[in-house]
Structure 1
Amino acid sequence: MQHLLGNIKISIPDKIYIKDPETSELGKKILEHSILLIDEIGFENFTFKKLGLRINSNESSIYRYFESKHKLLLYLTSWYWSWLEYQLVIETYSIQNQLTKLEKVIEVVTRAVTKDSNFTHINEILLYKIIVNEGPKSYLTKNVDAENKEGYFTVYKRLISRIQETITSIHPKYPYALSLASTLLEGAIHQHYLKEHFPTLTSADSETSITQYFNQLVKNAIK
């Protein structure tokens, strides 16, 4: 177990940032308060000037870490995907039965997020709210293809590949495993969005969970 966990870390593609914010107290403060501020006012209204005022730092000091707020959003979304991958590995490493493992993967990907005390400067609950409400803005851009070539979405794609591998371990000849894996990951986020903002457009409620829905969807697809 310790050897396995030693290989898991919250790693972010280094081209996203100028200076790794995890290497300094100011950098961690930027991450902590950017999450709080984006959750409070939304990404469109978020600026480095406002963040600087929040943390009592010059706006220019933030630019030493990120060249734009878009890069900061890419960092936050990549951090979340890496953290989710970390959860998947920890919670499935000892499961031998592949169907049980798939059920755990679906649970981890679709459940409501709780606070992780291992990362005190990151509020995972608020970060997930940003993923649900603002996350697509990190890739729904004109430059997405160029950024993909630069490796900005490596963590996101690796996470989907892990889900795909779990699906194919049960049904090796299932031809749509990658599509099903990406549908699971993105669909869970979309269902949480609908549940929060358009509850009449989703079956998720106090009696039917998003996890239950995707358990049925995925199992029926590969049976």
Structure 2
Amino acid sequence: MKFSTCSALFASLFGSAAFAAFDQNRGGAVLKAPADSSFTSVTGTFTVPSLTGASKLSVWVAIGDTLEQDIVLKGGITYANGLTSFVAWYPDNQTDITTDVPISAGDSVTVTVSLSAEDKSTGTVVVENLTQSKKSTQTVPVPAKADPAVLTALAADWFVQAYQAAGELVSVPRFGTLDFTKASATLANGTVVGAAGAGTFEIQGTSGQIYSQTTIAADTITIKQQ
């Protein structure tokens, strides 16, 4: 799940409290944990956009391991000719939880991902449809490629992401404006921090055109398609 920026640029961007970077299919925010700390939980609430057509989209909240985020514990919703809910610890496959948490356009959904500072062999992902009063709590095993003893949990993520099957060109469906509200993260010492200070990612086409504008307030991340 590496971003399209090169490793050197990514490291440079994370060298400051906030940054702006670009990705061909992803818009949103990434908050870096303070030095000598890590995240134990991340949460956010969003309204499911009304989506049509064949283009595919996911909306998710996550804890990323390293700053390049090769290992990401996440939960959220996907649109692919219909709406579903999921949990995953990337790069392992995601688990469909739609039977427990059905999704419709206009629903308010809260996602909370948690990872113990002491034992990273499993993570917990809670996806709750507040509108339909449906909730799923899933314990997710660490990916087979990961060593829980060295996972770092350095990044809190809130993202809208277009995706594609192998060989398909990335096409971002019209999602309008999406807000992550009540966005916060908990550090290993128990301190709860808001999204202020997070860096933004914008969707950028291969021609260089920018297709999103992300703004961050204390506890709200707004991704506006343009």
TM-score by length of 1: 0.26
More contact order relative to length (CA 8 Å, sep ≥ 6) = 2
Q: Which has the higher strand share?
A: 2
TM-score by length of 2: 0.26
Bigger Rg over Cα: 1
Q: Which has the higher helix share?
A: 1
